[in-house]
Amino acid sequence: MSHKPEPQDPKIARLVAQARASQLTRRTFVAGAGSATLLAVLAACTPGGGGQTLTAATDVSDSEKTLSWANWPYYIDQDEAGAYPTIDMFEKLTGIEVTYEEAIPTNEEFYAKVKDGLLLGQDIGYDLVTLTDYFAARMVAQGLMQPIGLADMPNAKNNLNPGLLDMTYDPGRQFSLPWQSGMTGLGWSTKAFPNGLSSLEELWDPALKGKIAVLDQWTDTMALILQSQGVDIDSNWGESEYGAAIEVLEKQVQDGQIRAFTGNDYTELFKSGDIVAAVAWSGDIFIMNTEAGADDYGFAIPDQGGYLWSDNFMIPMGARHKGNAQELMDYYYQPEVAAEVAAYVNYITPVAGAQEAMQAIDPALAENPLIFPDAETLERALAFRQISLEEDKIFAAQFEKAKVG
């Protein structure tokens, strides 16, 4: 399935410049779902595919050279005319026609749109979907996704970053394959903190009262608080540990330490000077520094640990073009192709060798630790253990209550 891409097109440099000029990112849309909507969707989920054992649809890839892919907005390379260069190249190389849709504003909203067919194992109109870890875990647990067949994809098998191979919800990557990854950690103004930050507790300094923002998603903010209390988030922990972490959050809210719970609109609070530090996403800090033309903002994973998340390729049980989907996934695991995407989206690529390939596109990007973090950083950024649907509902509700003090 290996397809060697043609030499880099000169327009890639323009794509990189265009991406740097845009403030729109995939995480803008992750943060866009209201909490009430989230809880309503969670309450409506039916575990276990309605109690049925679903069967994968018959693969017709040999006779139908088509593929439909649902992804997040602004999450792939795109040129000034609105075309997707890497998809165009894939179509040219394989003869497979790709229907690409920015169909996932949030995991919950997308699920609400397709759940009726998904729970019955029917064709939902997409052969590939791109879901975040916590939601991917739910889909695996409910038996709603086909095995991806990693052994049948030589590029993916050989080039997947080893640190992303074994997830608690999907050991050996039987049902999911990372598309892009990112880190949640500490962001700060380098003017306020010329020596940087290294622990979450530093955000709770009374001198910073009202100058701190945290993320408006329980997974991101609570991952850091839990780890600051010595909890291994990818191992055994439960409601007691989470309750103790919630007490920390409640105290900071009641003390007025936290100015706002935000999506990535905390970037505007940084620029206005309303905050000087935040629980932040690595990609946002990169973009802010690019816009400023200087290292005005810093980012680090706390010494106690940060949060590593991935958005993952998955094949719904009712998808009829598994073979074509495998072709596309394997194509994107070529280092040269992965580097081209990373140059545009500025998130962590899961593809080994992409950093070396990036040297031909933009040497500065190849050296950027927010796109290519070192092994020591990644060791301190953990993913959550599998969170059950019931736990998700409980944890989200407790988080919403803590936000109002």
Give CA angle at 351 (107, 144), nearest 5°: 35
41 pLDDT tier (thresholds 50, 70, 90): very low
Least confident of 144-158, 194-208, 291-305: 291-305
Of 342, 352, 363, 372, nearest in space to 20 by CA: 342
167 pLDDT tier (thresholds 50, 70, 90): confident
pLDDT reported for residue 166: 85
* Cα four-point dihedral sign 104, 108, 114, 120: positive
Q: Is the pLDDT of residue 43 over 80?
A: no
Percent of the chain with pLDDT over 70: 87
Residues 6+ apart with CB under 8 A from 289: 295, 296, 297
Question: How far, in Å, CA of 190 to CA of 371, rounded?
Answer: 20
Question: How far, in Å, CA of 123 to CA of 53, rounded?
Answer: 16
- pLDDT higher at 36 or 285: 285
Q: Is the pLDDT of residue 32 over 50?
A: no
Percent of the chain with pLDDT over 90: 64
pLDDT in tens, 328-337: 999 999 999 9
Q: Is the pLDDT of residue 293 over 90?
A: no
Give CA angle at 104 (99, 105), nearest 5°: 135
- Calculate helix-pair angle for 389-403, 35-44, nearest 10 degrees: 160
Region 91-110: mean pLDDT is 93
Question: How far, in Å, CA of 347 to CA of 182, rounded?
Answer: 6
Residues 6+ apart with CB under 8 A from 175: 136, 139, 140, 145, 146, 147, 148, 314
Question: Which two tokens mark 355?
Answer: 């950093």
Residues 6+ apart with CB under 8 A from 92: none
Domains assigned to the chain: 11-181+310-373 (3.40.190.10), 183-307+390-403 (3.40.190.10)
pLDDT in tens, 302-311: 999 999 889 9
123 pLDDT tier (thresholds 50, 70, 90): very high
Question: Which two tokens mark 65?
Answer: 């050279």
Least confident of 23-27, 57-61, 207-211, 399-403: 23-27
From the CB of residue 282, how many other CB atoms can be counted at a distance below 10 Å?
Answer: 29
Please report, as a single letter, which amino acid is at residue 354. Answer: A
Region 64-77: mean pLDDT is 94
Element holding 158 (H helix, E strand): helix 154-159
Region 158-180: mean pLDDT is 92
Question: How far, in Å, CA of 302 to CA of 204, rounded?
Answer: 14
Q: Is the pLDDT of residue 45 over 80?
A: no
Question: How far, in Å, CA of 223 to CA of 184, rounded?
Answer: 9
The beta-carbon contacts of 290-293 under 8 Å, at least 24 apart in sequence, are 290/20, 291/20, 291/23
**Alpha-helical regions (H) of 46-186:** 85-94, 107-119, 133-141, 154-159
pLDDT in tens, 243-281: 999 999 999 999 999 999 987 689 899 999 999 999 998
- pLDDT higher at 379 or 32: 379
For tokens 């040269």, the residue is 336
DSSP, res 58:
P
pLDDT reported for residue 376: 85
Question: How far, in Å, CA of 35 to CA of 319, rounded?
Answer: 30
Least confident of 94-98, 162-166, 242-246: 162-166
Least confident of 96-105, 206-215, 374-383: 374-383
- pLDDT higher at 86 or 72: 86
pLDDT reported for residue 20: 43
Give CA angle at 393 (213, 117), nearest 5°: 115
The mean pLDDT of the chain is 87
Alpha-carbon torsion, ordered 260, 266, 269, 274, to 10 deg: 40
22 pLDDT tier (thresholds 50, 70, 90): very low
Q: Is the pLDDT of residue 38 over 60?
A: no
